């Protein structure tokens, strides 16, 4: 029954293993000699100008949240693509409707100026 999801699971575990492997190999293969200069604060070659705990504008958080929302909504496409050969016209039209609503939301946010960096 869940054999369709086998490829997604294999994909996930393959890249999870590669990620952990690269992470741990970077500690094993790289020559590490810490000193005070390497561990000091660094900001483009200059000493830091101000406090690192400065407040950010709300717009940065808004754009980050919008990115996460649209990114998570695209995850709904994975099961649909796997079952595409077995869907009837209702399944295809419902996904077209979902993508249409997603596109309308993106256009609405664009025209409202939520994605502008002023």
10: CATH: 1.20.58.1610
Domain containing 44: what range? 3-112
Integer Cα distance of 39 and 27 in angstroms: 17
Predicted pLDDT at 46: 65
Residue with more model confidence, 15 or 116 = 15
Q: How confident is the model at residue 19 (pLDDT cuts 50, 70, 90)?
A: very high
Kindly state whether residue 117 falls inside one of the protein's structural domains: no
Whether residue 34 is predicted with pLDDT greater than 70 in this model: the reply is: yes
Predicted pLDDT at 44: 65
Kindly state whether residue 59 falls inside one of the protein's structural domains: yes
Whether residue 112 is predicted with pLDDT greater than 80 in this model: the reply is: yes
Q: What is the DSSP letter of 43?
A: B
Give the lowest-confidence range in 18-27, 49-58, 74-83.
49-58
Tokens linked to 48: 């830091």
Kindly state whether residue 20 falls inside one of the protein's structural domains: yes
Whether residue 65 is predicted with pLDDT greater than 80 in this model: the reply is: yes
Residues in the chain: 118
Whether residue 41 is predicted with pLDDT greater than 70 in this model: the reply is: no
Integer Cα distance of 9 and 2 in angstroms: 11
């Amino acid at each position: 029954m869940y054999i369709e999801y086998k490829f997604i699971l294999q994909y996930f575990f393959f890249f999870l293993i590669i990620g952990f492997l690269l992470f741990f190999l970077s500690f094993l293969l790289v020559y590490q000699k810490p000193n005070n200069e390497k561990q000091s604060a660094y900001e483009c070659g200059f000493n830091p100008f101000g406090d690192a705990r400065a407040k950010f504008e709300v717009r940065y958080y808004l754009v980050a949240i919008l990115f996460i929302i649209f990114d998570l909504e695209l995850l709904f496409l994975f099961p649909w693509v796997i079952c595409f050969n077995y869907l009837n016209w209702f399944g295809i039209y419902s996904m077209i409707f979902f993508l249409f609503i997603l596109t309308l939301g993106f256009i609405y946010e664009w025209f409202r100026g939520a994605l502008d960096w002023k």
